[in-house]
A and B are shown apart, each in its own frame.
Chain A
Amino acid sequence: MTEMQIERGPAAATEPDAAVAMARSSILRKLARDKGALLSAIILSVIVFCAVFAPILAPHDPYDNNLRNMLKPPVWVDGALPEHLLGTDGQGRDIITRLLYGTRTTLVMGLLAVLAGGLIGASLGLVAAYFRRLEGPIMRLVDILLSFPSILFGLAIAAVLGAGIFAITIALTIAAIPTIARITRGAALVQMQMEYITACRAIGMSDLRIIWRHLLPNCLSTIFVYLTLQLGQTILLGAALSFIGLGAQPPTAELGTMAAEGRNFLFFAPHVSTIPSLVIFLIVLAFNVLGDALRDVLDPRLRQ
């Protein structure tokens, strides 16, 4: 969607600090010109803000049930209660409150998994690019991981550890590793052709130092773009696993679990299920649009 709007420009590779700063501000300016990306960034900021300050913003307690007030509709439907703007769920709990806490759980799950998976994946990618002898085995492993449907990791790990947030976060982490590893390797291989790597070697710098101080920083923008895109996918997968009952367990507020709980009331109180599903949709969409735009701006070469 955003692919057409941004002209290709050379990627900022290695420049002096002033130039880097300039490049950075121009990146922001280019991003801001992309309306979809701007809107996504705003939506995500609001969502993250709500998730972080959920305890302050929430009008009720997420576990406070009141069976007399169960399945109240949202305000735009007759019979709504003014103190529950989006209505209540099957146990009379306030949906806005649970959305705030649920977004928190969903985001933390996704972020943890993407950060852990990104860390492992990026390390694998860097090592594969730097030590060519290890490239074969590492990339073969990565290819196998990549070829497997992520949902199978979820099923297998939930089978072992029992359904729950912990099992699902591990599964999401594993699912995030291969993409990041491949992308990092690709970016690092380009850097390995550069003369500064040869120069570093010539002055006797240690391998670890070259990787950490020179190779990694030059791959960071690429890694960052794909982490953003991966975050959307990870959240979507986590929500799906929770929805089928393998993720967060009731009464924990989590968006996928909330959607699943609402299935029982789909025919007379559809909002219990559809509102959390819509929030997931919105979050993932925003991450994907922003990720696409970031990719176009930061790394036009990678755009396919």
Chain B
Amino acid sequence: MLHHIAHRLLISIPVLIGVLFIGFLLMQVVPTDPATVLAGPTASAADVEAIREAMGLNEPVLLQFAMYLGRVLQGDLGRSLISNTEVLVELGNTVGPTMELMFASLIWAVPLGITFGTLAAVRRGLVSDRIIMAASVAGVSMPIFWFGLMLIQYVGFKWQLLPFQGRAGPLWTLEGLRHIALPAITLGGVFIGPVARMTRTSLLEVLGSDFVRTARAKGVSERTVVLTHALRNSLIPVITLIGLQIGFLLGGAVVTESMFAWPGVGRLAVGAIVSADYALSQGAILVLALSFILVNLIVDVLYAVLDPRVRAG
């Protein structure tokens, strides 16, 4: 168990350094010169040069990377070129809302997906199975922004049921809940299809295994067979796959946040990139990548906790 965790940790170190280095390199070849941007349009060449020197932009690349690593480790991600606030502060304000949004999406979409997947597997080949699977293919093919636009247009605007702009407060307040509803429905909505598909596949596999046949032979009711014996065992791969799909969810979150003016990391990243905010976009991408690595690590460990076979192997 410990061995497994240590192994996963060790593997993620090179990935981590790779992400940092790529993030750093990407920003090196940035076509807009940050010193020029920071100095403003009226600055003289000498001013720009002074800023270049002050920012360390004249040092060799590897040294700059080392300096960069040192700064990142100290939590210094620089200042936003546009608002001049510290990147870490801006990011700190946005990580919470993004996590909140992902949580609010998963909390209803995963149980629903598992329910649909189980129904489809149990009724394999019947009309309900076909309908669920067709809906899940449609769900996978649906542009998330189309779904979101529809919700904004009807639920938000025409019927005036729910707000669709920004965040009003934490989840446990009524206004906070009302504001997160539409973004969470949008983001969760595109997640139901994949979860249903995975559950169905995994459950079908388990339903075909020997211990299920034994349980049936013993005369255990079909309900108990499916819900207690089979579903439990089929959820292990589903959990891993959900973990792997966190990246997919993150991508959806970037779009959803942009649409609903949700103050999260994704919206921050997009805004920073569009306005060529060097430090901020790098920081946002870094946070997205790092949190992604972290989630994968957690899922890996969780997998080992849930499945004794992984622990042994």
Residues of A within 8 A of B (CB): 1, 3-4, 144, 147-152, 155-163, 232, 236-237, 239-240, 243-246, 256, 259-260, 263, 266-267, 270, 273-274, 277-278, 280-281, 284-285, 287-289, 292, 304
Q: Which residue of A lies closest to B135 (CB)?
A: A1
Bound Cα distance A161, B31 (Å): 7
Interface residues on B, range: 35 or more
B149 touches A155 (CB 8 A): no
Given contacts A266-B149, A281-B146, contact A149 B251 (CB under 8 A): yes
B289 touches A270 (CB 8 A): no
Q: Which residues of A contact B284 (CB under 8 A)?
A: 155
Nearest CB on B from A241, distance (A): 9
Give 19 A-B contacts (CB < 8 Å), ordered by A residue.
A4-B130, A148-B292, A151-B247, A155-B288, A156-B26, A162-B276, A232-B141, A236-B141, A240-B143, A244-B270, A246-B274, A266-B153, A273-B149, A274-B153, A277-B145, A278-B146, A280-B143, A285-B137, A288-B137
A163 touches B143 (CB 8 A): no
A151 touches B143 (CB 8 A): no
Given contacts A151-B251, A160-B30, contact A277 B274 (CB under 8 A): no
Bound Cα distance A288, B145 (Å): 18
B247 touches A150 (CB 8 A): yes
Residues of B within 8 A of A (CB): 15, 18, 22-23, 26-27, 29-32, 124-125, 129-130, 133-134, 137-138, 140-146, 149-150, 152-153, 157, 201, 244, 246-248, 250-251, 254-255, 258-259, 269-270, 272-274, 276, 281-282, 284-285, 288-289, 292, 296
Bound Cα distance A236, B273 (Å): 21
B292 touches A144 (CB 8 A): no
In this complex, the member of B15, B125, B138, B149 whose beta carbon has the largest number of chain A beta carbons within 10 angstroms is B149
Given contacts A4-B130, A246-B274, contact A152 B292 (CB under 8 A): yes
Q: Which residues of A contact B244 (CB under 8 A)?
A: 147
B254 touches A160 (CB 8 A): no
B133 touches A1 (CB 8 A): yes
A-B residue pair count with CB separations less than 8 angstroms: 144
Bound Cα distance A159, B130 (Å): 43
Known: A149-B248, A243-B145. 8 other contacts (CB 8 A): A151-B247, A159-B273, A162-B276, A163-B274, A243-B255, A273-B149, A281-B146, A287-B141
Q: Which residue of A lies closest to B157 (CB)?
A: A267
Nearest CB on A from B240, distance (A): 12
A285 touches B141 (CB 8 A): yes
In this complex, the member of B29, B244, B270 whose beta carbon has the largest number of chain A beta carbons within 10 angstroms is B270
Bound Cα distance A163, B274 (Å): 7
Given contacts A232-B141, A246-B274, contact A3 B133 (CB under 8 A): yes
Bound Cα distance A284, B193 (Å): 15
Partner of A160 from the list B15, B18, B27, B296 (CB cut-off 8 Å) is B27
Q: Which residue of A lies closest to B244 (CB)?
A: A147
Q: Which residue of B lies closest to A274 (CB)?
A: B149
A289 touches B137 (CB 8 A): yes
Q: Which residues of B contact A280 (CB under 8 A)?
A: 143, 146
Nearest CB on A from B127, distance (A): 11
Given contacts A156-B26, A280-B146, contact A292 B137 (CB under 8 A): yes
Bound Cα distance A281, B137 (Å): 11
